[in-house]
Amino acid sequence: MRDTTPVKMLDVAIASDPDEARRVQDAIEQLLKHFDYGEHDVFGVRLALEEALVNAIKHGNQMDRAKKVRISCRVSAERCDVVVVDEGPGFNPADVPDPIAVENLERPCGRGLLLMRHYMTAVEFHPPGNKVTMSKLRQAPHRNGHT
Amino acid sequence: MSAQPPRRRRLEVEDIGDVTVVNFTDKKILDEQNIQVIGEQLFSLVDELGRRKLLLNFGNVEYLSSAALGKFITLNKKLQAVGGRLILCNIDPQIYEVFEITKLNKLFNIQKEEQAALQAF
């Protein structure tokens, strides 16, 4: 029988380990698929999550497995909201150089925030910068859509 | 201390004339450790094996992250420094969008098909 729960939640704290982050991404992808989100939405949320988790694990927690990353996610048929919190000192997103400025185009890093902002409907960093909230409003069509 | 990344081959490399064609064995070029290994294996083609014309075929790739883009930028710089060339091809529309968002479609030579890419060298 089909699960008709209107909202699915996930709330976990993981070690600063990319493998654990991957499992969380997989779980959130499954939640999106449960609500039949389109391929482009799933791709975008997954990529934004990857960038947020890499930021948290690598830059926030400095790959220290003893430090945790907390991920809270709420998915409904209409939207997906994700909160990622690390134990690092935070950062000011305004200090990140614009990666699409001509002079920065060949910099090997600094594109994560750009991708998060592109693929999510809203992205907000909360001072001191170790907590990010991201929201994705579902793109039409609602069902079986390749949006 | 974290474990060493697995050293399994993440690239399939084939020479077609004087062009080295690289296919990725991973569908998702996301994981930091995997990206590190992919970077090392790509750089060694230039630094150790002296390859100068590299064609990256993305036909197998479904996801990639900004960390992977960084490796391709470094590879491009390495090749430019030694008078070589890097061309990318066979990029899925969703992946191509990532190149467009980051404006890297203007930095890289990107061709639709492998055959067209081979002729573009």
**Per-residue model confidence as pLDDT tens digits over B38-94:** 999 999 999 999 999 999 999 999 999 999 999 999 999 999 999 999 999 999 999
Stretch B11-37: mean pLDDT = 90
pLDDT: is B50 or A147 the higher one? B50
Which member of B67, B69, B101 has the closest CB to residue A54?
B67
Per-residue pLDDT band for B8 (boundaries 50, 70, 90) equals: low
3 state DSSP class of A67: coil
Reply yes or no: is the peptide bond before residue A128 cis, omega within 30 of 0: yes
**A18 to B33: CB separation less than 8 angstroms, yes or no:** yes
Average pLDDT over residues B3-11: 63
Judged by phi (left if over 0) then psi (alpha if -120 to 50, else beta), residue A132 lies in beta
Query: For testing the chain A interface, which of B26, B30, B37 should be mutated: the one with the most A CBs within 10 Å?
Result: B30
Q: How many CB pairs under 8 A join A and B?
A: 62
pLDDT at B120 over 80: yes
3-state secondary structure of A45: helix
* B101–A39 CB contact, under 8 Å: no
Q: Is the pLDDT of residue A30 over 60?
A: yes
Whether pLDDT at A79 is above 70: yes
Which residues from A are below 8 Å from B65, CB to CB?
A: 47, 50-51, 54, 112, 115
Interatomic CA distance for residues A142 and A120, integer angstroms: 17
Residue A100 touches chain B, beta carbons under 8 Å: yes
Is A46 in the B-facing interface, judged by CB distances under 8 Å? Answer: yes
Contact A47/B98, CB-based, under 8 Å?
Answer: yes
Disruptive mutation site among A23, A54, A103 for chain B (greatest number of B CBs within 10 Å): A54
Q: What residues of chain A lie within 8 A of the CB of B33, using their CB?
A: 18
Residues B3-37 as b/e (b if ≥16 CB within 10 A, e otherwise) read eebeeeebbeeeeeeebbbbbbebebbbbbebbeb
pLDDT band at A12 (very low <50, low <70, confident <90, very high): very high
What residue in B sits closest to A63 (Cα-Cα)? B2
pLDDT at B1 over 50: no
What tokens were used for A13? 């704290």
Sequence-distant (6+) residues with CB within 8 A of A83 are: A70, A71, A72, A73, A131, A132, A133, A134
pLDDT of A109 reads 86
**Cβ–Cβ gap A106/B2 under 8 Å:** no
Q: Which of B28, B65, B105, B108 to mutate to test the interface with A (most CBs of A within 10 A)?
A: B65
Window 31-90 of B: residues touching A by CB (8 A cutoff) are: 31-33, 63, 65-67, 69-71, 73-74, 76-77
